[in-house]
Amino acid sequence: MIEPSELLELVTARHSSRGPFDPYRPIDPDALHLILRAATWAPTAHNMQNFSFVVVRDPDVLQRLSQLQSATSPVFIKENYAQLSFSEAELASKKTGLLADRFPPEWTSAAAQQGLLAPEARPLGPQVGEGPVLMVLVYDPAQRAPASDGDFLGAISLGCVIENMWLMATSLGIGFHIISPLASQPLVDDVKQVLGIPPELAVALGIRLGYPIGDDPGPRVRRDLTDFVSRDKMSL
């Protein structure tokens, strides 16, 4: 049985690997199997297990995906701006969000803050095309968790699946990065075409897997327990 301190250390070490992965270092099939097995045992509403994965390792398919065009919406950029800190001291004080220097300079402009920045579509690029593995998480929106408005419980289930995989990848020293644009319109239709995903299924997101080159998550912050835990009665 794993020690609680070891488990907490693993949970704390988990982070997004946003930088490049080594394109010449493949992921061992046994390691990939362990990551997928971890997904198998994630808790899902009513044990529906309403998810599938397309595991992409073919360099030609990865290149085709990397050439697909994606445009970031002004709404995303505006709401992203609201979560930014512009110094490490500000980030430490807020205890939430990200540093602004993790994003393109134009995303930290007045136009971005006001929701007026609308970047042109551009290819997904080398982050998708040069990594050894890309997983695409798929589910059937017609299979709703029972009595769950908006399939809220189904969404939580997919989150549990991802967390299980992420922790296993972290234990193996494998970088893990969520690629959310793969599920956005109109890009998702092109993704489905490239990967042969039936139109009735929905793409939740993509996951880059690989061995990071110079992985630096930057300063990481979390709230204190007293910031979000009440005892017996809500006191926040």
Kindly report, residue by residue over 62-99, the tens digit of the pLDDT. 999 999 999 999 999 999 999 999 999 999 999 999 99
Q: Which domains does the chain show, CATH number per domain?
A: 4-71+122-213 (3.40.109.10), 72-119 (no CATH)
Compute the distance between CA of residue 187 and CA of residue 75 in angstroms, rounded to an integer: 17
Beta bridge partners of 203: 138
Compute the distance between CA of residue 26 and CA of residue 184 in angstroms, rounded to an integer: 28
pTM of the model: 0.95
How confident is the model over 138-175, as pLDDT tens digits?
999 999 999 999 999 999 999 999 999 999 999 999 99
Percentage of the chain exceeding pLDDT 90? 92
Q: What share of the chain is helix, strand, coil (3-state, %, to 5)?
A: 45, 15, 40
Burial 185-204 (b: 16+ CB within 10 A, else e): eebbebbbebbebeeeeebb
Mean pLDDT of the chain: 95
Q: Which DSSP state fits 94?
A: H
Compute the distance between CA of residue 165 and CA of residue 209 in angstroms, rounded to an integer: 11
Our CA angle for 85, 90, 91, nearest 5°, is 65
Predicted local distance difference test score (pLDDT) of residue 236: 64
